[in-house]
Amino acid sequence: MSEIRNETPLIEVRNLKEHFPIQVSGLKTKPLKAVDGVSFSIKRGETLGLVGESGCGKTTVGRTILNLYKPTSGEIIYDGKPIKTAADIKEFRKKATMVFQDPYSSLNPRMTVADIIGEPLDVHKLYKTKEERQARILELMDYVGLNSEHAARYAHEFSGGQRQRIGIARALAVNPEFIVCDEPVSALDVSIQAQVINMFQELQEKLGLTYLFIAHDLLVVRHISDRIAVMYLGKMVELADADEIYDHPMHPYSKSLLSSVPVPDPNIARANKRIILEGDIPSPLNAPSGCPFRTRCRYATDVCAQSMPEFKEVKPGHFCACHNLENVD
Amino acid sequence: MNLKKLSMHPDLDCFAPASEAEKEYMVQMRPSSTFFKDGVKRLMKNKIAVISFFVIVIITLCSIILPMFWPYKYDQMLGVRPGRPVNSSYNNLAPFEYGEKELERMAEGEKIFPHIFGTDAQGRDYFIRVVYGARISLAVGFFASLIVLVIGLTVGSISGYCGGKVDIVIMRIVDIIYSLPDMLMVILLSTVLKEVLAPLIAGTVLEKLGVNMISLFIVFGLLYWVSMSRQIRGQILSLREQEYVLAAQATGARGKWIIMKHLLPNCISVVVISTALQIPSAIFTESYLSFLGLGVNAPMPSLGSLASDALNGMNSYPYRLVIPAIVISLIVLSLNLFGDGLRDAFDPKLNG
Ligand SMILES: Nc1ncnc2c1ncn2[C@@H]1O[C@H](COP(=O)(O)OP(=O)(O)O)[C@@H](O)[C@H]1O
Ligand code: SF4
Ligand SMILES: [Mg+2]
């Protein structure tokens, strides 16, 4: 965890919504609320971890922030300036990049490593001579621990871990400030995950990067994040410092998530009650009214079905959205 | 030493840290090879495809080169000489038979090039007619596929890339064309176009090619692009969803860059394969149209019209029907087998 340099956020997201129109019958469409009113901010040099079950909208949040999907509504403010027009977006693309979850489908099988890493340089015309381009590509490969001899090879010749390094080098090419890391290690072997995570941290220190780090694995996020946000069904349910959320989770959903994390110490493990979530996550097409978690929540009351709990600051720096916090033990 | 094998103790040597060389071995990768090289390698392993390829090459080369130095022309009636009565001894020669004059000249010790397949009812050397017919059929197949490729590629990629309403409209048109009985449409269109086009092209270079040929190409352009465009569209649609396209968008790349760098290069194999498979189907269509008398113009032979002409004398000269039929089958079969080989070697779905 690197030092957080100042208090004004590098990126701020206000009430972001992303609704995908889904065809239900004939020409009728229904909105699939993949992200439904999410707000948070990330300070320069900070890592915000984003966790939640698969399908809860993490990837969509990351992609919408980068304007890969046009937001249905809400504001994205980068470095104090809202990102709205095509010109804003073009400029924004040089500062914010993405590392994708799947190191296989995110690299074009017909391109060499050098061309993949050099693509952002080509698109933004960031070099004057071929030599300059080549030198920059080799420098990037060196950053991520790839051998310069690999430059002329095709991505399919590499292992998953090496492919993900190529993806990271591509994300670093434009010298970005902010990187959305969408489950960058979940497709990798456990033995390689730690290496790649450490590399993310080293790069952050060396280059002063800010991360939105999406993950599935709570141990991984805890290791790398300064703060952690928990999502459920397109909504943010809890947000706090990494240690705070691990030691004192408040929202019933966060509690159940954390109770399923394996703990190395058997005494602690025994002391921790395992809370097993019943039922499946509802489809975002037919989300429950009020609190999205109420169909699986042990503490649900009538009010939960009627209104969506407000996402409010419960303790300094600790946000949570639940009507019945005082009853949750 | 041998006793140790029975021991239940683990061999500690197995747990020694890997040496540098061993580590290097672990991370060693497949030797560098491109998608294209891989495909060619796989293709070369497929014996049937290789043989088919050579058959195609030999037939193509023969049909191009042989007519250049063959002593007879495809439209040369050997019994007809200016200023002399028609010598009918040249008509309907059996293979390796000679006409009267030729026999005389041979008696004088002159060497006469044999009529390998004999001659037809008008005294034309049948071998060169078959060779020439193969040339016409191959050319028709090639150019018709080219037309299909251009139209199919354009329509398919527009439909796939734009998606939405454009896609829906184009695909309904494709469905309509699909649902037409294509044999019937081809015959009807050829007949109608023949009437319409004849006055239009009179006196131009196109006239020599024959109005039937032109209408044949138009028919291909109108009807046969649909399956090609469907395949390209499907390919583009699935490629568009690939994460590397999204990754390119995330770097700021726009439409043209994405189509040129990401979509088309990944379509090439589908394009090549469906074009290769289109050629035999075009040749086949040309043959049966010629067989029905809707093909090439009279003195010019095509394999189909040769077979059709041979029908008249089928009882006496069955080989005149059999030979062009065998050549058509050989061309169509080897093109199909080669196309299948290409698909097996280059289809990305099969090689993961
Ligand atoms: N492009 C899209 N079109 C329609 N629905 C989508 C699209 N992308 C994601 N979704 C839907 O949005 C929901 C959230 O998906 P996603 O953001 O990928 O979740 P996560 O990354 O947390 O697993 C899922 O129900 C998914 O089916
Ligand atoms: S608002 Fe109600 S349903 Fe939602 S988490 Fe709190 S108690 Fe459970
Ligand atoms: Mg995801």
Task: Give the model's pLDDT for residue A272.
Answer: 56
Q: Is there a domain that residue A230 lies in? A: yes
Burial letters A53-64, b for 16+ CB under 10 A, else e: bebbbbbbbbbb
Share of chain A above pLDDT 70, in %: 93
Task: Give the model's pLDDT for residue A139.
Answer: 94
Residue of A nearest to B351 (CA): A156
Q: Which residues of A touch B242 (CB under 8 A)?
A: 105, 108
Identify which of A316, A317, A322, A320 has the alpha carbon closest to the alpha carbon of residue A298.
A322
Share of chain B above pLDDT 90, in %: 14
Q: Is there a domain that residue A291 lies in? A: no
Q: How far is CA A66 from the centre of its chain?
A: 11
Pick from B27, B34, B250: which is nearest to A98 by CB? B250
In a 3-state reduction of DSSP, which class is residue A221? helix
Q: Is there a domain that residue A161 lies in? A: no
CATH of residue A183: 3.40.50.300
Range of the domain at A37: 9-95+176-248
The answer on pLDDT for A1 being more than 50 is: no
User: Do A183 and A139 form a contact (C-beta atoms < 8 A)?
Assistant: no
Contacts for A244 with CB less than 8 Å, ≥ 6 apart: A315, A317, A318
Pick from A100, A111, A173: which is nearest to B243 by CB? A100
C-alpha torsion A60→A237→A277→A215, nearest 10: 40
Could you tell me which CATH number the domain at B43-69+131-346 has?
A: 1.10.3720.10
Q: How much is the mean pLDDT over chain A?
A: 88
Identify which of B262, B277, B166 has the alpha carbon closest to the alpha carbon of residue B227.
B277
B238 C-alpha to center of ligand 1: Å? 17
Main-chain phi, psi angles of A74, to 5 degrees: 105, 170
In a 3-state reduction of DSSP, which class is residue B213? helix
* pTM for the predicted model, two decimal places: 0.75
Task: Give the model's pLDDT for residue A230.
Answer: 94
Span A32-41, pLDDT tens digits: 999 999 999 9
The lowest-confidence range among A138-142, B57-61, B143-147, B257-261 is B257-261
Task: Give the model's pLDDT for residue A60.
Answer: 96
Q: Which ligand is nearest to the CA of A57?
A: 1
Span A219-247, pLDDT tens digits: 788 889 999 999 999 999 999 999 999 88
Any CB–CB contact under 8 A between B265 and chain A?
yes
Task: Give the model's pLDDT for residue B348.
Answer: 53
Q: What is the DSSP letter of A211?
A: E
Q: How confident is the model at residue B350 (pLDDT cuts 50, 70, 90)?
A: very low
Provide mean pLDDT across the span B142-162: 89
Any CB–CB contact under 8 A between B261 and chain A?
yes
Residue of A nearest to B247 (CA): A106
The lowest-confidence range among A207-211, A282-286, B16-20, B304-308 is B16-20
Separation CA A13–CA A289 (nearest Å): 24
CB contact under 8 A, A102 and B243: yes
Please tell me which residue, A260 or B172, carries the higher pLDDT value.
B172
The answer on pLDDT for B97 being more than 70 is: yes
Separation CA B286–CA B39 (nearest Å): 31
| Number of domains into which chain A is organized | 1
ipTM attached to this prediction:
0.87
Task: Give the model's pLDDT for residue B29.
Answer: 46
The answer on pLDDT for B351 being more than 60 is: no
Q: Where are the domains of chain B?
A: 43-69+131-346, 77-123
Span B270-309, pLDDT tens digits: 888 888 888 888 888 888 888 887 777 777 888 888 888 8
Ligand 2 site residues, Cβ closer than 6 angstroms: A 252, 291, 293-294, 297, 299-300, 304, 309, 322-324
